[in-house]
Structure 1
């Protein structure tokens, strides 16, 4: 056997072995869950909350916490968190919405916290739709805000595309998880390997409510340019909010982020009489000649 052919076979074997490993190990690489015992008692200082459990049709239990504001609720924020820990730690971010008199519901995905069940993209999407349906039993959709953080941004976009919430807020979203994975190993066939492709860009096309994208300009994990690209998918309904200098995990430490949340939640839509603006005025590309 020629040396080059022998080398090629070895390379192919290694390539296939790595592909198989990536396929079966991606759950461990993508999800960093914190598991909690069923009798764990949540404790949040100065926050009014109640715990809920929802059983799915396949016997899984989805655990969540409803945080309540001090004043009369204006609506509810379904907060879909990132890929790590559990709502035990994520709960501290509920204050960013309860302070504006919104209820906040946070749920743990399968295998996170107290939630059980075998995890898959299809199962998580189905679970979240069931949660959304439960919310609709208590209030109208024009009072529901979907907030997706990092991993949760894809699931939030999917929910928004299938329903009619008041608005969709995406925090550090990705174009698709397939694209994110390809940044680290561009030579691997992730379009085939990914069990969680989560194509946010595809789902955004079908969203009919206002879309707000918040992203830090110094995000190293999911680059800021990702949100610029996403903002062009459904431009008429999308507004991009830039946190100058913000990274992937520290947006809450920027005053500008909290001002953005305030403006998004309290904004009032209004019409502009474009006939009185310069919208149709174009700069001339050719220099005009001055007559003497």
Structure 2
């Protein structure tokens, strides 16, 4: 995620005292993205948003007999292809992986915004349920994508949710000087109080972008259904190669101990 780059751009913007919503997002076109997968590449897949946009993402269907699929939300930069390479380890055990993307990212139409990203996430969760009607759907977000995943878990029924490098709010994540100019909210500290599903918070102990203490505040706000995992020595991004299976197991253990809950309204 490019939040450090964001801060540098905000410094120049702050002098003009204008809103900086357009500086929050740093998409990269697919033409400028050269990525290689270790195994079979994902399928290209599209989702339709409520306001009429067609968005492209990446999809590995679950193996026959596997009823688990994770919808993965990337951060404020790059695109779904970069996140697909990073998310490939989630396929362990034949699980399904749907890598979502947002308006204005990659080659997707539209202009990103907080409201827009939530609409996009809604469309991707609906797509996951369309593709795998009987599957258990999990949500996972990296950095800014963690805010998207948590908000969707608060609004929609999911089996469990997880984040990596999540902040308490976008303003909290910005330097104090720049906070008055940050207009997007992404208030995870409030959102997490509305999530009933098991929540897994992952955070690198050497995160250079988002203070690890923010994970402690989120854990406290989220209450008993939160499990916080400190990734020793990890930075803002931590590869999933060695932890994907552990995350699945953690979710399954939390799911097994979770009392039955009423499904949220669609």
State the Cα deviation string for residues 100-140 of structure 1 (Å, max 9, x = none): 32111112211111211122111111121122123233445
Residue of structure 1 equivalent to 2:27: 33
Residue of structure 2 equivalent to 1:228: 216
State the Cα deviation string for residues 2-35 of structure 1 (Å, max 9, x = none): xxxxxxxxxxxxx9x83645514x423x222111
- The separation in 2 between residues aligned to 1:217 and 1:147, in whole angstroms, is 19
State the Cα deviation string for residues 82-117 of structure 1 (Å, max 9, x = none): 112112222112332111321111122111112111
Residue of structure 2 equivalent to 1:115: 108
- The separation in 2 between residues aligned to 1:167 and 1:107, in whole angstroms, is 17
Higher RCO (C-alpha 8 Å, min separation 6):
2
- The counterpart of 2:198, out of the listed 210, 229, 235, is 210
Q: Give the SS at the match of 2:90.
A: helix
Deviation at 1:75, TM superposition (A): 1.3
Confirm whether residue 159 of structure 1 aligns to residue 152 of structure 2. Answer: yes
The answer as to whether partners of 1:74 and 1:143 remain within 8 angstroms in 2 is: yes
The answer as to whether partners of 1:121 and 1:195 remain within 8 angstroms in 2 is: no
Residue of structure 2 equivalent to 1:264: 250
1:45-60 to 2 correspondences below 5 Å:
45-60=38-53
Displaced runs of 4+ in structure 1, greater than 6 A?
40-43
The answer as to whether partners of 1:74 and 1:102 remain within 8 angstroms in 2 is: yes
Q: Give the SS at the match of 1:252.
A: coil
Q: TM-score, normalised by structure 1?
A: 0.75
Q: Give the SS at the match of 2:93.
A: coil
Aligned residues: 245
* 270 and 253 in structure 1: CA distance in 2 versus 1, 3 angstrom threshold: closer
Residue of structure 2 equivalent to 1:23: 19
Greater radius of gyration (CA): 1
- The separation in 2 between residues aligned to 1:253 and 1:104, in whole angstroms, is 13
Q: TM-score, normalised by structure 2?
A: 0.81
Confirm whether residue 175 of structure 1 aligns to residue 187 of structure 2. Answer: no
- The separation in 1 between residues aligned to 2:188 and 2:87, in whole angstroms, is 24
